[in-house]
């Protein structure tokens, strides 16, 4: 009797490896043959995925494009792949893969179809200036497509309690009975992010780990850093993450160059040594406008770092205000600066709150616990 096949449909190979490797290995250990479908890749990340024991298949997907003909091409390409390999389970992540992967699975008569919505993204994210017409149009089409696919998805998984309310309940999208689940974060292998107390005898270092996008709060982080730097020149502000040239809300290269030359921040860029960078920092900051449950915050918590983040969906799942950090109103860089100053003025709180972050990470974000919960949701623990 052959092993059952489970197909993971994602986007970038690096994302699939970094955020799904533990679950891929768990599925393989359960006796499943894992196929990983990715649309953005290089040989290095493809080899990393293969090293886990998965079979890698590449396909074409325009992650942020709005061309319906390109999306139809993706749909039929996925249908052809599924018809050829006849998977037992199709498990898709993120908006477009969930929509087109699930639809292709339905057309190919795949026995079980799973979708994970890891955050509602830009179309559902409020900005201080209001939502653009383009995002309103994108939201309309996304919701319309969700109305088509949700009724035949066996399990629809969200990471926080707000997303199903804002999408399914608010938009009145029909779905199967008992199909909706809240996972609470994809989790991480805690030993990859070892706990280490901060040396508070040194100047306090703040760090943000994110793509440099408007909705990640990069402008609020820079504005708050400027305020704090004027009051406490010794404070350090690190920025870890790259520009996203495909995203219109990304910081531009010129803007980044100006702020680097100003001396306000230390720009690290993209790095594979996140754990080391976090251990060399004091306080993690993510002033995001909306998240699923941010992986970067979970990593910081595992290393024992207090967190300053916004009181918005996804972010509020990571902080107990005043216990392991602070929640600040979205878009409010002055409130953000105030909480940064608190840690500079009360450095002993860095390790006290950081220890609470570590405790919460062990309780909520241990990949082994999360994967067991995910296995139960999609029925792989039987």
User: What's the pLDDT tens digit per position in 302-312?
Assistant: 999 999 999 99
Give the residue-averaged pLDDT of 153-158. 96
Q: Which two tokens stand for residue 201?
A: 């005898």
**Rounded Cα distance, 275 and 257, in Å:** 26
Is the confidence at residue 27, as pLDDT, over 50? yes
> In terms of domains, do 281 and 164 share one?
no
Cα angle value 302/304/308 (rounded, 5°) = 95
> In terms of domains, do 228 and 360 share one?
yes
pLDDT of residue 1: 46
> In terms of domains, do 178 and 219 share one?
no
> In terms of domains, do 30 and 138 share one?
yes
> In terms of domains, do 339 and 211 share one?
yes
> In terms of domains, do 134 and 17 share one?
yes
In this structure, how many other beta carbons lie within 10 angstroms of the beta carbon of residue 317?
Answer: 23
> In terms of domains, do 180 and 215 share one?
no
Give the residue-averaged pLDDT of 131-150. 92
**Rounded Cα distance, 162 and 247, in Å:** 24
Give the residue-averaged pLDDT of 307-334. 97
Give the total number of structural domains in the chain: 2
5-9: strand order across its sheet: 55-58, 33-38, 5-9, 89-93, 112-117, 155-158, 180-182
Can you tell me which residue has the tokens 């100047």? 203
**Digit-coded pLDDT (tens) for 84-135:** 999 999 999 999 999 999 999 999 999 999 999 999 988 899 988 888 888 8
Is the confidence at residue 63, as pLDDT, over 80? no
Which of 89, 244, 220 has its CA nearest to residue 154?
Answer: 89
With b meaning 16 or more CB within 10 Å and e meaning fewer, what string describes 243-260? bbeebebbbeeeebeebe
Which of 265, 252, 260 has its CA nearest to residue 221?
Answer: 265
pLDDT of residue 382: 57
> In terms of domains, do 248 and 142 share one?
no
> In terms of domains, do 216 and 136 share one?
no
Instruction: Report the chain's mean pLDDT, rounded to a whole number.
Output: 93
Is the confidence at residue 313, as pLDDT, over 50? yes
pLDDT of residue 370: 93
Q: Which two tokens stand for residue 294?
A: 């941010």
> In terms of domains, do 163 and 205 share one?
no
> In terms of domains, do 253 and 308 share one?
yes
State the SS3 of the chain.
CCCCEEEEECCEHHHHHHHHHHHHHHHHHCCCEEEEEECECCHHHHHHHHHCCCEEEECCCCCCCCCHHHHHHHHHHHHHHHHHHCCCEEEEECHHHHHHHHHHHHHCCCCEEEEEECCCCHHHCCCCCCCCHHHHHHHHHHHHHHHHHHHHCCEEEECCCHHHHHHHHCCCCCCCCCCEEECCCCCECHHHCCCCCCCCCCCCEEEEECCCEHHHCHHHHHHHHHHHHHHCCCCEEEEECCCCCCCCCECCHHHHHHHHHHCCCEEEECCCCHHHHHHCCCEEEECCCCCCCCHHHHHHHHCCCCEEEECCCCCCCCCCECCCEEEECCCCHHHHHHHHHHHHHCCHHHHHHHHHHHHHHHHHCEHHHHHHHHHHHHCCCC
**Rounded Cα distance, 109 and 21, in Å:** 27
| CATH number assigned to the domain comprising residue 334 | 3.40.50.2000
**Digit-coded pLDDT (tens) for 173-214:** 999 999 999 999 889 999 999 999 999 999 999 999 998 999
| Domain around 127 | 5-187+366-378
pLDDT of residue 342: 98
Torsional class of 142: left (φ above 0), alpha (ψ -120 to 50), beta (otherwise): alpha
Higher pLDDT, 60 or 65: 60
> In terms of domains, do 198 and 178 share one?
no
In the chain, what percentage of residues exceed pLDDT 70? 98
């Amino acid at each position: 009797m052959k092993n059952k096949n489970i197909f993971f449909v994602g986007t970038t190979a690096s994302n699939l490896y970094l955020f799904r490797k533990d679950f891929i290995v768990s599925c393989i250990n359960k006796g499943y043959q894992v196929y990983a479908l990715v649309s953005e890749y290089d040989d290095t990340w493809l080899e990393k995925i293969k090293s886990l024991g998965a079979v890698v298949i590449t396909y074409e997907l325009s992650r942020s494009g709005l061309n319906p003909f390109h999306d139809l091409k993706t749909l039929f390409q996925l249908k052809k792949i599924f018809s050829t390999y006849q998977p037992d389970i199709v498990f898709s992540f993120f908006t477009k893969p969930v929509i087109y992967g699930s639809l292709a699975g339905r057309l190919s008569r795949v026995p079980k179809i799973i979708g994970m919505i890891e955050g509602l993204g830009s179309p559902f994210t409020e900005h201080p200036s209001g939502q653009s017409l383009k995002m309103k149009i994108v939201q309309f089409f996304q919701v319309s497509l969700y109305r088509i696919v949700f009724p035949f998805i066996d399990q629809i998984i969200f990471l926080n309690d707000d997303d199903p309310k804002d999408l399914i309940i608010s938009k009145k999208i029909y779905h199967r009975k008992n199909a909706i689940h809240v996972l609470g974060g994809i989790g991480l292998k805690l030993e990859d992010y070892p706990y280490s107390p901060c040396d508070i005898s040194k100047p306090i270092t703040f760090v943000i780990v994110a793509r440099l996008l408007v909705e990640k709060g990069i402008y609020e982080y820079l504005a708050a850093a400027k305020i704090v730097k004027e009051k406490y020149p010794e404070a350090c502000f690190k920025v870890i993450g790259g520009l996203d040239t495909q995203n219109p809300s990304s910081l531009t290269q010129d803007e980044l160059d100006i702020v680097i030359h100003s001396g306000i921040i230390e720009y690290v860029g993209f790095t594979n040594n996140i754990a080391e960078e976090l251990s060399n920092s004091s306080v993690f900051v993510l002033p995001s406008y909306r998240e699923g449950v941010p992986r970067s915050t979970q990593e910081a918590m595992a290393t024992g770092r207090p967190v300053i983040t916004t009181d918005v969906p996804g972010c509020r799942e990571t902080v107990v205000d005043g216990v392991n950090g602070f929640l600040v109103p979205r878009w409010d860089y002055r409130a953000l600066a105030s909480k940064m100053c608190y840690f500079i003025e009360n450095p002993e709180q860095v390790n006290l709150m950081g220890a609470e972050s570590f405790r919460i990470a062990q309780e909520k974000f241990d990949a082994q616990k999360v994967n067991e919960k995910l296995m139960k949701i999609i029925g792989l623990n039987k």
